[in-house]
């Protein structure tokens, strides 16, 4: 069975793992998912990520989740904005400030995947993939 939205599947797996207090989550790997994990790590929403091989020979992206000292997940909300059925594009002056700068918006631009801060600094808009806080 084919998957219509692999990015939404990745975000849902991370959201479910955080809700269940898992230390890590395995996701089928792709270049876009790896870039999303890189952005999440650079902005301190996850501990680390790495590519691993499963027992059946498939490549997986292993994401190590991050928790505060109280045991609460660092990721409070993780939402997909642009979907395959309804793409959401934003200009550079319309990039949202998530939780007044405490959160993060992930954009796919012509220069690659970027956080909202990087996109504003590069003066480029793009497809609004997800918001995290």
Per-residue confidence (pLDDT) for residue 133, from 0 to 100: 96
Please give the helix or strand (H or E) that residue 36 lies within, else none: helix 31-42
> Each residue of 76-126: pLDDT tens digit?
999 999 999 999 999 999 999 999 999 999 999 999 999 999 999 999 999
Q: What is the pTM of this model?
A: 0.94
Closest listed residue to residue 34, CA positions, set 73, 7, 54, 53: 7
DSSP 94: G
How many other β-carbons are positioned within 10 Å of the β-carbon of residue 114?
22
Residue range 6-132 in CATH 3.30.1490.10: yes
> Which residue has tokens 């007044």?
100
Structure tokens at 33: 């998912």
What string of H, E and C letters represents the secondary structure of 1-16?
Answer: CCCCCHHHHHHHHHHH
Per-residue pLDDT band for 2 (boundaries 50, 70, 90) equals low
Report domain extents, the chain: 6-132
- Per-residue confidence (pLDDT) for residue 3, from 0 to 100: 81
Residue 1 pLDDT exceeds 70: no
């Amino acid at each position: 069975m084919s998957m219509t939205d692999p990015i939404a599947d990745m975000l849902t797996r991370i959201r479910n793992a955080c809700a269940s207090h898992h230390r890590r989550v395995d996701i089928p790997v792709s270049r876009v998912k790896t870039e999303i994990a890189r952005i999440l790590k650079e902005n301190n929403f996850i501990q680390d990520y790495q590519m691993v091989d499963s027992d059946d020979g498939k490549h997986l992206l292993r994401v190590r989740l991050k928790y505060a000292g109280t045991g609460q997940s660092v990721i409070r909300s993780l939402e997909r904005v642009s979907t395959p059925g309804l793409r959401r594009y934003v200009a550079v002056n319309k990039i949202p400030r998530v939780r007044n700068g405490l959160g993060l918006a992930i954009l796919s631009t012509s220069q690659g995947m970027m956080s909202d801060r990087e996109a504003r600094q590069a003066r480029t808009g793009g497809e609004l993939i997800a918001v995290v806080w």
